[in-house]
Structure 1
């Protein structure tokens, strides 16, 4: 068994190793933070599929679904196994911890590792639904953030980019030096060129979500009243040029258009629903790659403090609405809005004031940097309270087995 003491090694916000015990404790803490169910599900509980179940809001959707809605079913993610030189990815260890929690809670959860964009994975999931879960799927949560996608029909590899549309964008961003000291920098991102928008939409838009629905519907696996939600983000005017008005924003607009099309179709065929769920800001492995988001999120936490709603509580609220435990509350575009705590006028005005005042000299007074640094480290299992980081830890944790 490969055991060693792990210390964080990183390049910016990207860490080279992950801590198994820290990831396990983090998942346990999320489970504890999830509210208890409003009511216990009848029978074995509804069957759910979470695509993108190992990180960020997808992980929160999985845990909240198990605890709050009493679901059973399948989670799909794409993670790297441990090697002799490197630990597994953090999502690998979080998945192992999620499997342990599901088992202890008496929930039948199968966790698959592979390319969610592939038809082979869709076939594997469909077979499991048929053979293990009674041949009917009640819910599908779609939470995928990826740099590239291979189109199963053409074999074309599409690559997503983070670029503004129309012209270059200059924004402030937050970085930390090797000693952890913060620096506010101005960065410029060049505009989308060529087919950058189309490429990003092909990866991050609604095409794969719709393909999942097509695949499962084609096998007759959608239960009456089937509901599906794709997780999304709008964010602040401060980050709009690089996000909501940029290439990723074009993909999110496509995702929302897909939701409207799927909603009409599912309502007609199975009495079902399709929505996008707009979540609030959080520190995730995906969000830290977006220029300006780190600074914005740190400032937002500085304004809201504990009022910044964590993903696990947001996703508990989503499950309440999907299952009927709470009324379905949609905006004028047909989206569930879990970001209202973030986008009120007074909160955004306070963040904007701090944004204008933020410099390397002042940012520590304006943003909650200790919280932000800790959140980044916790993505990889470090800085999790209650974990002894001086102890040797086994890194060759196996992927959860699923037996009938």
Structure 2
């Protein structure tokens, strides 16, 4: 037993510890937010979620389990409890596995490098031995700082930079006392092979490798469908995001979707799409200059009109499974971000952005909501949790019980 009181300690938006009880409650709340199952009872489709422990990948996993009744495999990369607590994703995965068992869903969670062929082999073996040798859906939701090429051993590193020239933007930070400040930050442009490196990590190469690997093992079912989760975002953040190095990777991801869609359509009557999700507070998004300010202002404009990731992924699963029609844009992308990019909304956010200062920001953005959302990523600021009580931190990784 290793019970102790966990206090929130952070460096900027990065917290040093996670709260197991808070992480468990976050997962419970997400599950409760999912509408009733589309087809209750019976054996659900087999799904693989790569990046299942955080952000939109976590939402995809929970929405798939609770709404569609999926069974299958979640893959993620998390750290076990040691001197510090486990990562938040470690505790969220344990909580998701517990709910899956309670609801009779056969879901196995694997912890390791999704980019490596060893993980692909482990997943393939599980699909063959445990899930009837067929995969119906693959959701790809990976954000990573680096990737090792399984063929060459070369290590690629992704960077978050504009392309062509330096980029200066407003950004939101909090001082040591928690007071909000609006500052300007400048990011140097990509140089050398920054774009190629970022595309190698965050583009569609690994997604395609997963599909090819499983196809070569004859594990893809007729009608197999795969979706990679993506983001376009506001014109206010385009220079650092969609027009930057990450944007190049997203364009590569979308090109990969078109290639895979043609191939799967011919061989299996299947399909591949990218799903363009809307803004949310995630561990990845808070690292992007300007995104924290933008999301806080967006919440200030829309309030509860914002659709949380779990709600968006319910919509995606409904479309992928045919519970509602597949709604694609002219480039073949599922668009779950139309409410965010509505011109009226964007004009309102842009007006607030232009006048945002350290003095005015509390009137323009919902900073209480934003701050709580960041803390909830690590299991803090979760209603119903007594943070003065000791909690067990040594939580085991969920065993793949039959």
**1:205 maps to 2:212:** no
Match of 2:298 among 290, 297, 300: 300
Name the residue aligned to 1:155.
Answer: 153
Which deviates further from its counterpart, 249-258 or 32-41?
32-41
Offset, 1:179: 1.2
Name the residue aligned to 2:16.
Answer: 16
Name the residue aligned to 2:324.
Answer: 326
Name the residue aligned to 1:117.
Answer: 115
Offset, 1:39: 2.8
Counterparts of 2:213 and 2:299 in 1: how far apart (Å)? 41
Contact 1:35/1:313 (8 A) holds in 2: no
Counterparts of 1:160 and 1:261 in 2: how far apart (Å)? 23
Name the residue aligned to 1:33.
Answer: 33
Offset, 1:44: 1.1
Counterparts of 1:316 and 1:37 in 2: how far apart (Å)? 10
**1:287 maps to 2:295:** no
Contact 1:159/1:199 (8 A) holds in 2: yes
Name the residue aligned to 1:5.
Answer: 5
Counterparts of 1:382 and 1:264 in 2: how far apart (Å)? 44
Contact 1:130/1:136 (8 A) holds in 2: yes
Spell out, residue by residue over 1:222-277, the C-alpha distance to the aligned partner (whole angstroms, 9 max, x if none): 00000000000000000000000000000000000000000000000000000000
Spell out, residue by residue over 1:109-131, the C-alpha distance to the aligned partner (whole angstroms, 9 max, x if none): 00000000000000000000000
TM-align CA RMSD: 0.6
Offset, 1:52: 0.1
Name the residue aligned to 2:54.
Answer: 55
Offset, 1:320: 0.3
- Name the SS of the counterpart of 2:26 in structure 1: helix
Total equivalences in the alignment:
402
**1:356 maps to 2:382:** no
Counterparts of 1:330 and 1:350 in 2: how far apart (Å)? 26
Spell out, residue by residue over 1:142-188, the C-alpha distance to the aligned partner (whole angstroms, 9 max, x if none): 00000000000100000000000000000000000111100000000
Match of 1:347 among 319, 341, 345: 345
Counterparts of 2:210 and 2:363 in 1: how far apart (Å)? 46
- Name the SS of the counterpart of 2:339 in structure 1: coil
- Name the SS of the counterpart of 1:276 in structure 2: strand
Name the residue aligned to 1:227.
Answer: 225
Within 5 A, what are the aligned runs for 1:82-97?
82-83=81-82, 85-97=83-95
Offset, 1:36: 1.4
Counterparts of 1:125 and 1:209 in 2: how far apart (Å)? 14
Is there any run of 5+ residues in structure 1 with no aligned partner, and where? none
Counterparts of 2:251 and 2:155 in 1: how far apart (Å)? 21
Name the residue aligned to 2:265.
Answer: 267
Name the residue aligned to 1:191.
Answer: 189
Counterparts of 1:287 and 1:35 in 2: how far apart (Å)? 27
Spell out, residue by residue over 1:89-116, the C-alpha distance to the aligned partner (whole angstroms, 9 max, x if none): 0000000000000000100000000000
Counterparts of 2:39 and 2:360 in 1: how far apart (Å)? 48
Counterparts of 1:390 and 1:39 in 2: how far apart (Å)? 42
Counterparts of 1:386 and 1:269 in 2: how far apart (Å)? 50
Offset, 1:282: 0.2
Name the residue aligned to 1:246.
Answer: 244
**1:144 maps to 2:142:** yes
Counterparts of 1:352 and 1:95 in 2: how far apart (Å)? 37
Offset, 1:40: 2.8
Counterparts of 1:156 and 1:35 in 2: how far apart (Å)? 44
The two structures have a TM-score, normalised by structure 2, of: 0.99
- Name the SS of the counterpart of 1:183 in structure 2: strand
Name the residue aligned to 1:69.
Answer: 68
Offset, 1:35: 1.4
